[in-house]
Structure 1
């Protein structure tokens, strides 16, 4: 993309809508995406940081007045600067608190969508992280009202702990920071400054509870947190044309801080995944955006469980179609019908099946009862059966034509004389020898020969009956020999057909084993992803519990015991079967 496009726009009717052009761009991105979104009060320099992440001076509109420039959520997809197989998706959101708009509900939806779609969520603010700055993040306290983890009654009794599984990394970018990073006379890092600002206010008053609301939500919803402080980039006059300035025109400290910010985002932002560690591609991200926005437009609350279920249906159906198309193409390219043996076709089938299943395992997710996988295997089986039948028909057609060509070379009239049957048998045996010695007949060679011999049986009988040199006894012996020969042909055909049947059965058994093998490999991968995520969540909850104890909130710490105990059980269970994912949706 040379420049950003609007992903989610605000219509003249005040409704949110996904832009079709942006969807088409996302649909073309088949590789994993790293999604970074930024929100904050309007006119705080969000777009400048996003342009720097894109490696550009301009792109997202900056503006130089008090009027908000960005409307809705804008998207810029660029190659990831550090990972060749990933795309960096930057989402610049409409500024919050725009007095010209004055719609808090709209702001909350923008905030919620930025959280839902991203893996790294940047909150941009000005000045310092004081109580006013924290309280301005009241949107975070409303997230559970605007986002549901599960559908129906299962949502009842839900706590912030459930959201920890899928909320993104939280980065607080503090712009025009002029203070020293010192607390109680000690120099601190920006991260320590953030943690100190999020300490809970002691007391049981209404004011204390009000002040602690956003703090507790940030600590609960965003266990992975990072903070960057930025000096003012340049003088007020230069800020009006900042998109035209080079790094040499900016404050050196600001330039370094921006480089550090970009470096962290590039190196630490993980690719977006959903339940079970499934990687999200650009196409999947577009479908998620449509699902969430449609839910908002319908007046309901976006439900992560429903969104993932809807996405799995779309992706699994597409996975079946793409995998089957790959199987058909590979089988068509690698098998030149007709094949000499069934083994040749079986060998190619094994390779094509393996590659098709690998694509399906990579593309599909949450195929919990393996219904889509079973459907794929059935279509592959039918396609293979059809290919085997086509192979047999081509072979038989070729063999019959070959036999007929050899037969046409005979002078049939010359056999209708005394002693002609002996000549006929010599010539017929010669045809059979020549036929069997000819390569490239394929899997129906013996079947075609049996058909041919049946068709010529009457001819042989006529010649035999016309041969006056033969006695009646000799004639009967020749008839018996002809019948015995036909029985030998039949026996050979039956043997070949039995071999082919056994080979086809072996093919089906190998296909079943390959299917099970790849399924078990994916389940093991999912188990590791689940274990890793549950362990990460547990570590964060233990860290939060220790922080509460150090801050003197022993009662709140004890209230976390049930959550921690549940997580510990999930970790234990994950080692044997499964659980959640990372930067995920449940």
Structure 2
């Protein structure tokens, strides 16, 4: 809210000229126009030389200066003077004090001019103080009547127009221009009693009116005065002031006399008067529910003058109506601006989010208008209907802006993310064996990075869909090219020498699966802890890598393995080897987790917990069944150290596991016997189990990793044989969905059996 303009002294608000014309002082009007606070407008009227200015200076609480106080019989106040001060009791309000030219000014050529000025003051005020001296008698009523007669004649038309169905006597003055009436009686010395007790000030006013009415019941004019007072002032108050001082010289310069030199009772009465006006004088209202601000008051000043000088009450009504309409239009504009601000400050990424934000912002904007709406010829529902239409148009504007911003941002983002892919397309880097898989990987990486980008806006999914649609033809060409090239690559060259290290390595590294059918070959290593699975992974990476040994998988220690996770390592674009957590025995509860690893239901590169709850296991199955992606071709491999004696119990358990693994994957498991350089009885044992692919392998270790051709060739031929096995199984028509369902049923059955055994 704008601060109150600083006023150090009063200023003339309504000027009078020799031709008795009234004019609004533009400087005063500009001061009012800058006040956005509600106004409490208090004016003082009455005969001249009755001390009106003194009371107004008291109300201003300003020490030194103020309204001019006369010391002679000449009139000091001409026209209407204004002083705007912060309201002492109502924060956020401005107290406007109006001091008027008094009645009985003989210097004024037109005897009615004073009444017109006082009528104007009452029209502009929310509270009017009628200042008189002596007691309430016929003369006092006559003086008041001289003011109200003109004022009532001017405003009576408004009363009749507002209440056409009422009689003239019952018609009242509109409450928005009917001020609170306070009769301040100065130099009052009468000590009256009514029926044995001293009446209050208000009772005294009523008693005096009744007394006058009784004594002058035949004088119709006096009765009309009393009716007019009651009709025009719904709220009335009478306050008395004793003599300020017995010193006549002090009375002639009252504004200069310190309070300590005045009568104690008068000082107290003056303080009570100020307190009453501060607390009881209401805010000025434009209409019943609309409090008037300084800027609105400034706009109506000329209309107020026209009412009392031309009798043009209709012009005031039009001005008030225009102002109300302007206020409502402003409130509508502010509501639209509020809506727009609410819609812009919050990021939305879907149309549903936008609609929810619209509905919330619409509700707040309509509520804001309802708070600011002022009574007008056009009803509030009519304004609200128009506002809703304006807000819906604004919604469409905001939506179009958000669409354009989002579209441009998303297209720019995709262009940046596709730079490397576009370069690879220009250089035909996807027209090679495995090119389709590489293209899908790069495309999915673009999609992943695109989805990770925050605040893409409302067109994010639509732009992504258009982008993916634009790649369909390119993707189809890459797929066909890859299939044609890979079909030839999968044919085993007749001249590959199983003892040729270079040929074997090249074949394994360049091997490609049929494009789009399987994602990769997953070589799954199983076995007891400490039997050499991790060392075998290190050996494969060493042989197919850059010729430098690294302990990537982590070797086991002498007292057992240390792999607690299910870790995956890429041997080539098509081959991934998985080091599954080793088990202590092939029994519950390890069994369920072992088969979950085998079926690729357990997450890769995460810790394996043997003791999952039944609920956790079922949740894992449910989650896995919902996944939709290209399946892996699983090859089960059992790793067993020849240093360990195979007991009858372990023989039975391992045999059952190998048979079940073949049943689930469709692939006969491969057997790796570590620390076994020559033929052994252990090899024959696994042969009796029905295993065909058995390999005696000496792993490379941290302490022994010097390259040996024989070690290399055994591992390379093991990997070559796995690829030959894969080529054989690729001729089969495998229904992955059926296989997935069988795996899920098998694991659910195991979980239920485990629960039954526990209970």
Q: In structure 2, which of residues 114, 122, 128 is the aligned counterpart of residue 115 of structure 1? A: 122
Q: In structure 1, which of residues 139, 143, 157 is the aligned counterpart of residue 151 of structure 2? A: 143
Residue number in structure 2 paired with 1:62: 69
Taking structure 1 as reference, are residues 71 and 347 closer, same or farther at Cα in structure 2, changes over 3 Å only?
farther
Q: Secondary structure at the match of 2:326?
A: helix
Q: Does 1:372 align with 2:380?
A: no
Is the CA contact (8 Å cut-off) linking 1:150 and 1:303 kept in structure 2?
A: no
**Residues 390-405 of structure 1 aligned to structure 2 (within 5 Å):** 390-405=401-416
Taking structure 1 as reference, are residues 108 and 179 closer, same or farther at Cα in structure 2, changes over 3 Å only?
same
| Rg larger in structure | 2
Q: In structure 2, which of residues 416, 440, 444 is the aligned counterpart of residue 429 of structure 1? A: 444
Residue number in structure 2 paired with 1:280: 292
**Residues 195-214 of structure 1 aligned to structure 2 (within 5 Å):** 195-199=206-210, 200-202=212-214, 208-214=219-225
> Where in structure 1 are there 5+ consecutive unaligned residues?
472-476, 480-586
Taking structure 1 as reference, are residues 71 and 317 closer, same or farther at Cα in structure 2, changes over 3 Å only?
farther
Is the CA contact (8 Å cut-off) linking 1:181 and 1:190 kept in structure 2?
A: no
Q: Secondary structure at the match of 1:25?
A: helix
Q: Give the Cα separation in 2 of the matches to 1:191 and 1:463.
A: 102
Is the CA contact (8 Å cut-off) linking 1:32 and 1:281 kept in structure 2?
A: yes
Q: Does 1:443 align with 2:443?
A: no
Q: In structure 2, which of residues 245, 258, 262 is the aligned counterpart of residue 250 of structure 1? A: 262
Q: Give the Cα separation in 2 of the matches to 1:322 and 1:263.
A: 38
Q: Give the Cα separation in 2 of the matches to 1:213 and 1:350.
A: 59
Residue number in structure 1 paired with 2:204: 193
Write the deviation string for residues 115-164 of structure 1: whole angstroms up to 9, x where unpaired: 22222211001222111111112221333311132586976954354227
Taking structure 1 as reference, are residues 19 and 348 closer, same or farther at Cα in structure 2, changes over 3 Å only?
farther
Is the CA contact (8 Å cut-off) linking 2:53 and 2:68 kept in structure 1?
A: yes
Using the TM superposition, give the Cα deviation of residue 458 of structure 1 relative to its aligned residue in structure 2, in angstroms: 5.1
Residue number in structure 1 paired with 2:132: 125
| More deviation, 153-162/47-56 | 153-162
Q: Give the Cα separation in 1 of the matches to 2:30 and 2:334.
A: 18
Residue number in structure 1 paired with 2:169: 159
Greater helix fraction, Structure 1 or Structure 2: 1
Q: Does 1:100 align with 2:107?
A: yes
TM-score (norm 1): 0.72
**Residues 95-494 of structure 1 aligned to structure 2 (within 5 Å):** 95-138=102-145, 139-147=147-155, 148-149=157-158, 157-159=167-169, 161-163=171-173, 165-166=175-176, 167-183=178-194, 186-199=197-210, 200-202=212-214, 208-234=219-245, 235-296=247-308, 300-301=312-313, 305-332=317-344, 334-335=345-346, 337=347, 339-342=348-351, 345=354, 349=358, 352-367=361-376, 368-370=378-380, 371-410=382-421, 411-412=424-425, 413-415=427-429, 417=431, 419=433, 420-421=435-436, 423-457=438-472, 459-460=474-475, 463=478, 469=484
Taking structure 1 as reference, are residues 59 and 327 closer, same or farther at Cα in structure 2, changes over 3 Å only?
farther
Using the TM superposition, give the Cα deviation of residue 208 of structure 1 relative to its aligned residue in structure 2, in angstroms: 0.9
Using the TM superposition, give the Cα deviation of residue 286 of structure 1 relative to its aligned residue in structure 2, in angstroms: 2.6
Residue number in structure 1 paired with 2:30: 24
Q: Does 1:76 align with 2:83?
A: yes
Q: Give the Cα separation in 2 of the matches to 1:298 and 1:389.
A: 54
| More deviation, 453-462/52-61 | 453-462
Is the CA contact (8 Å cut-off) linking 1:97 and 1:104 kept in structure 2?
A: yes
Using the TM superposition, give the Cα deviation of residue 415 of structure 1 relative to its aligned residue in structure 2, in angstroms: 4.3
Q: Give the Cα separation in 2 of the matches to 1:324 and 1:17.
A: 39
Residue number in structure 2 paired with 1:34: 40
Q: Which has the bigger relative contact order, CA under 8 A and spacing at least 6?
A: 1
Taking structure 1 as reference, are residues 59 and 328 closer, same or farther at Cα in structure 2, changes over 3 Å only?
farther
Q: Secondary structure at the match of 1:37?
A: strand
Is the CA contact (8 Å cut-off) linking 2:41 and 2:126 kept in structure 1?
A: yes
> Where in structure 2 are there 5+ consecutive unaligned residues?
1-6, 487-513, 517-759
The count of aligned residue pairs is 471
Write the deviation string for residues 431-470 of structure 1: whole angstroms up to 9, x where unpaired: 2233234433332111111222344445446656766827
Is the CA contact (8 Å cut-off) linking 2:407 and 2:460 kept in structure 1?
A: yes
Using the TM superposition, give the Cα deviation of residue 426 of structure 1 relative to its aligned residue in structure 2, in angstroms: 4.1
CA RMSD of aligned residues (A): 3.3
Using the TM superposition, give the Cα deviation of residue 361 of structure 1 relative to its aligned residue in structure 2, in angstroms: 2.9
Q: Give the Cα separation in 1 of the matches to 2:168 and 2:30.
A: 36
Q: Give the Cα separation in 1 of the matches to 2:359 and 2:28.
A: 40
Q: Give the Cα separation in 1 of the matches to 2:162 and 2:62.
A: 48
Using the TM superposition, give the Cα deviation of residue 172 of structure 1 relative to its aligned residue in structure 2, in angstroms: 0.8
TM-score (norm 2): 0.56
Q: Give the Cα separation in 1 of the matches to 2:44 and 2:21.
A: 21
| More deviation, 184-193/314-323 | 184-193
Residue number in structure 1 paired with 2:590: none
Q: Give the Cα separation in 2 of the matches to 1:268 and 1:134.
A: 24
Taking structure 1 as reference, are residues 313 and 17 closer, same or farther at Cα in structure 2, changes over 3 Å only?
farther
